[in-house]
Amino acid sequence: MTDDTVDADSDLGFDPAVSDRDVPTAARAARASKAPSSSRGGGLRSKVSRKVSSVLVLIGALAAVGGGYSLLAPSSSADQTALSAADVETGRQLYESSCITCHGSNLQGVQGRGPSLIGVGSAATYFQVSTGRMPAAGQGATNNRKPAKFNEQQTQQIAAYVGSVGGGPQVPTGDLRGNPQNISDGGELFRLNCASCHNFAGKGAPLSAGKVAPSLNNATDLQLYTAMLSGPENMPVFSDNQITPDQKKAIIDYIQNLKASKDPGGAGLDRIGPVSEGLLIWTAGLGVLMVAILWIGRKS
Amino acid sequence: MTTLNEAPTVKGARRFDKPRTPQGKAGKFFEERLGLAGGLRKQLNKVFPDHWSFMMGEIALYSFIILILTGTFLTFFFDASMAEVRYDGSYVPLQGVEMSRAYASTLHISFDVRGGLILRQIHHWAALLFMAAMTIHMFRVFFTGAFRKPRELNWLIGLGLITLGLVEGFAGYSLPDDLLSGTGLRIAEAIMQSIPVIGTWVAFLAFGGKFPGTEIIGRLYIVHVLLVPGILAGLIGAHMALLIKQKHTEFPGPGKSEHTVSGERMYPTYAAKAGGFFFIVFAVCAALGGLAQINPIWLYGPYNTAQVSAGSQPDFYIGFLDGSTRLFPSWEIRLWHHTIPALFWPTIVLPGILFTLAGAYPFLEAKLTKDRAKHHLLQRPRDVPVRTGLGAMAITFYGVLLLSGGNDLIAKAFDISLNAMTWAGRIGMLLAPPLAYVIAYKACIGLQRHDREVLEHGIETGIIKRLPNGEFIEIHQPLGAVDDHGHGLLEYAGTPVPKKMNKLGNPQTARVKGFFRPVREKAEIEAELAALEQAEAERAASQRELTD
């Protein structure tokens, strides 16, 4: 155990190229030479304190240990015992003050209030809590994104606690952007797997009976990744067997670039396609011309 | 030395036979060869009405011209081929992606051809404007009864123009072979296949085999740039020729009759007006093309049969068919070993009924009202409440379908369940049109009654008078001669009735409005009026002197 940690420590550190994000990056040999564009800022993660960093490093170390294995087969029950006992304990306390009412004292769930969390994994917990969906405001067809109740550190701690009970997909660490060369692959994968619900520009769309595929506008890299890993609400799970971690990163790279990209043709009209264009031609187009017609008519 | 001002002195020869100015010589050259002067003079003297509502069709005409100009530019760079290429243009997120040459060349136009993107956008905005303008032009013709005998054929030509506009627009929308238009083509194929008995073969014929095949873009290209625009141009020509032959309609009013035309002549007033208006239309299209992004195909990605995006919508003019498809229940009917898919009813039968009804309307109305006379004077919508109600009904029905075509976006924007939107559309489609009929009908009757009331009692002056017995009455200004009871004698004539004292040429002086500042100030007008009055008084005095 100790050996693993030491090995990881010597292998992990801060990548100077991405230090503006203030996030420790698993400097894998392949990635260390690459300098990602500094424009890719992660809003939430920029506030992560150094203290959390050490937790992440620790989790990263674990990921590195099982890395080769997990690339080949999804590890749904990785050894969680190596997490800092103090963090798991803090997570348990947060859980017991905010989550226990609906999910039960042993995460077994409460009939009519909330499902069992045994085996959902830290990734699902991280997604739900960091997007503010949990704690839920109420039970409805869908849980909309709202301001998060917990900060990044607390979210990670709750996730660690939930993950420590029954295992499940874990919160990934390190750089979640793929090789920029792969952005077009990410686009193909996005159109194939994501656009059918989230729209071609990640604007989201309604599903049946009040359920919603949300907009990806505010999603961070980590939220996108954990969503794919855990399949929240109506979203399918995209396990590492279906979409490999590298492919997930390429998708994230495509989405975040798409969101940051400007519209070369002028106002983007919310990027929802012909409906907003139709609205504009009847108002700004024909509307302006009707005013012109009335003006000419008055002058006759 | 003779001048032009001198009377012709050569015996027997008219002065015009020997033009001396360069224009005159050129005119003689063409006249001797073409002999158009007589006809041209007649055309240049054609009288166009002044009313604003007659300019809506012009928007459609001008957008058609803009479409031809910008479309020609686009053909220089577009490659209507479905051959696969690997993209290596300047749009990074698609570099290395396999796509058709059609899509790659559209990306090339958008990112690598100078001025390509703005011209593509102007072209697309002008296409939307073309359809929207034809629609409101049709409303004008319908609600004022301009389609009545002898103009039924022009109504039918107009309907043909709108139908072909739909085809032309859909073909153009499909050409870039992006994910959105490919989805549209897939639906078009499904619609073809839904035709009972022959559907499969129709689809095979159109696509040259199985979807998507390698033919359809090339075929649609010829349809889009040659076949349909050619027919459109021909029909527009016929539309205008009939208009000139039959002359414009006009609203009834003082000095208007079934046997006269009034307004401005084609040359010079109307030519200047229309020429200026063309540039306004062009300006609006150019502003939209430069400021508002339309059909960002690079966001959609290349077409791939395995992919589809949420919120894949057609352009607005096809939207009513998308809406009808979303609303129609999924009834699949099996008859004599043939399946009639649910898609058949909302996408083929429904538009078939709609367009047949629209085409038959002038004849139906003539039959039902037994009105076989020729009409050159228009009717105000309020004076034909049944027709206005039917029109409101049709527009409401179309509007519900159109809104339902975007019901997913409405559901998302307002946090409504999509299923609730579908049911709202289904119920709305049946209930809203009759409601619109009743409201429009009542509104027409109300407006008519108000007109009659003003004709009978005069305009409300806003002056309240107290009689010696303490009663308060409002003074009304009669519009004409009155009978013994003070009731106006003017007949209701279906013409606008003034409702305000200002419209009567009330002695109150008002300034003449201009665009930025008054054309004439109040003081100036008052001085003029005073001078007029004085002149009148002097004239009366001198008359009196003469008679005395």
Out of A208, A273, A285, the one facing B132 most closely (by C-beta) is A285
Domain contains B148: yes
Q: Do A187 and B296 touch (CB under 8 A)?
A: no
Q: Do B310 and A197 touch (CB under 8 A)?
A: yes
The total number of structural domains in chain B stands at 2
Give A195's contacts in chain B (Cβ within 8 Å).
179, 301, 307-310
Q: Do A277 and B406 touch (CB under 8 A)?
A: no
pLDDT digits (tens, 9 = 90+) for B477-491: 888 888 888 888 888
Which comes out higher in pLDDT, residue A26 or B62?
B62
Helix (H, G, I), strand (E, B) or coil at A200: coil
Residue ending a domain, among B303, B333, B368, is: B303
pLDDT averaged over chain B? 91
**pLDDT above 90 (res B128):** yes
CA–chain centroid gap for B468, Å, is 58
Q: Do B94 and A187 touch (CB under 8 A)?
A: yes
Q: Looking at residue A58, what is its pLDDT?
A: 64
Which comes out higher in pLDDT, residue B149 or A76?
B149
A84-88, A258-262, B165-169, B319-323, range with the lowest pLDDT: A84-88
**pLDDT above 70 (res B533):** yes
Q: Do A267 and B291 touch (CB under 8 A)?
A: yes
Range of the domain at B102: 52-252+262-303
Q: Judging by beta carbons within 10 Å of its beta carbon (0-12, 13-18, 19+), is residue A163 exposed, middle or buried?
A: buried
pLDDT digits (tens, 9 = 90+) for A193-231: 999 999 999 999 999 888 999 999 999 999 999 999 999
Q: Looking at residue A51, what is its pLDDT?
A: 62
Q: Looking at residue A64, what is its pLDDT?
A: 65
Residue from A189, A192, A200, A258 to probe the interface with B (highest B Cβ count within 10 Å): A200
Distance CA A248, CA A229 (A): 9
B139, B57 contact by CB (below 8 A):
no
Give B270's contacts in chain A (Cβ within 8 Å).
none
Mean pLDDT of B222-248: 95
Residue B194 has what DSSP assignment? T
Q: Looking at residue B256, what is its pLDDT?
A: 85
B389, B441 contact by CB (below 8 A):
yes
Mean pLDDT of A58-63: 64
Mean pLDDT of A77-101: 78
**pLDDT above 70 (res A106):** yes
Q: Looking at residue B14, what is its pLDDT?
A: 55
Mean pLDDT of B302-311: 93
Nearest-Cα distance to chain A for B185, in Å, is 15
What ipTM was reported for this prediction? 0.86
Both tokens of B35, joined, read 């002999």
Out of B129, B300, B310, the one facing A285 most closely (by C-beta) is B129
**DSSP code per residue over B462-495:** EEEEE-TTS-EEEEEE-SS-B-TTS-B-PPP-SS
Cβ-defined contacts of B350-356 (< 8 Å, 24+): B350/B321, B350/B324, B351/B321, B355/B159, B355/B163
Q: Looking at residue A12, what is its pLDDT?
A: 36
Domain contains B34: no
Q: Please give the C-alpha separations between residue A85 and each of A1, B139, B429, in angstroms, as whole numbers.
A: 14, 75, 63
Residue ending a domain, among B243, B278, B303, is: B303
pLDDT grade for A29, boundaries at 50, 70 and 90: very low
**pLDDT above 70 (res A23):** no
Q: Do B93 and A257 touch (CB under 8 A)?
A: yes
Q: Please give the C-alpha separations between residue B366 and each of B57, B140, B252, B466, in angstroms, as whole numbers.
A: 24, 18, 20, 53
Domain contains B456: no
Q: Do B277 and A278 touch (CB under 8 A)?
A: no
Which comes out higher in pLDDT, residue A140 or A30?
A140
Distance CA B131, CA B67 (A): 12
Domain contains B512: yes
Q: Where are the beta strands (DSSP E) in B258-397?
A: 264-265, 333-335, 338-340
Give B409's contacts in chain A (Cβ within 8 Å).
272, 275
Q: What is the sign of the dihedral through the CA atoms of B421, B427, B430 and B435?
A: negative
pLDDT grade for B509, boundaries at 50, 70 and 90: low
Domain contains B267: yes
Out of A266, A280, A300, the one facing B50 most closely (by C-beta) is A300
Give B290's contacts in chain A (Cβ within 8 Å).
266
pLDDT digits (tens, 9 = 90+) for A246-262: 999 999 999 999 999 99
**pLDDT above 50 (res A1):** no
pLDDT digits (tens, 9 = 90+) for B442-491: 999 999 999 999 999 999 888 999 999 999 999 998 888 888 888 888 88
Both tokens of A262, joined, read 């400007």
What count of other Cβ atoms lies within 10 Å of the Cβ of residue A33?
8
Residue A25 has what DSSP assignment? B
B294, B121 contact by CB (below 8 A):
yes
Q: Do B125 and A281 touch (CB under 8 A)?
A: yes
pLDDT grade for B507, boundaries at 50, 70 and 90: low
Domains of chain A, residue spans:
2-260
Instruction: Look up the CATH number of the domain holding residue B83.
Output: 1.20.810.10
Out of B133, B179, B314, the one facing A274 most closely (by C-beta) is B314
Q: Do B409 and A281 touch (CB under 8 A)?
A: no
Q: Do A275 and B50 touch (CB under 8 A)?
A: no
Domain contains B19: no
What count of other Cβ atoms lies within 10 Å of the Cβ of residue A75?
18
